[in-house]
């Protein structure tokens, strides 16, 4: 681990998936990684979903993603 002090910026995203919470989080983080450098961590803050005919059809997870601000 580096001895440097870091400053982080947060962005809030909503990932979705019909396959589960884990996939919804991964979709959000992996899509963010295509355009944001230095992603370091995430925090799942809300979980919700879409119901169809009394069954879970889709998962949505609100995720805060932290990335290091460049010097």
pLDDT tens for residues 34-56? 999 999 999 999 999 999 999 99
Q: Please tell me the distance from the alpha carbon of residue 8 to that of residue 68, in angstroms, as a whole number.
A: 4
The model's pLDDT over 13-36, given as tens digits with 9 standing for 90+, comes to 999 999 999 999 999 999 999 999
Q: What is the pLDDT of residue 2?
A: 56
Query: Mapping DSSP to helix (H, G, I), strand (E, B) and coil, where does residue 32 land?
Result: helix
Closest-CA residue to 25 (of 46, 10, 9):
46
Helix (H) or strand (E) holding 24: helix 21-33
What is the Cα–Cα distance from 14 to 50, expressed in whole angstroms? 14
Eight-class DSSP state of 7: -
């Amino acid at each position: 681990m580096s001895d440097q002090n870091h400053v982080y910026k947060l962005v809030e995203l909503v990932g979705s998936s019909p396959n589960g919470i884990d996939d919804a989080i991964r979709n959000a983080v992996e899509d963010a990684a295509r355009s944001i450098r230095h992603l370091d961590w995430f925090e799942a803050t809300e979980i919700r979903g879409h119901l169809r005919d009394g069954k879970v059809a889709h998962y949505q997870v609100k995720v805060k993603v932290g990335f290091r601000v460049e010097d």
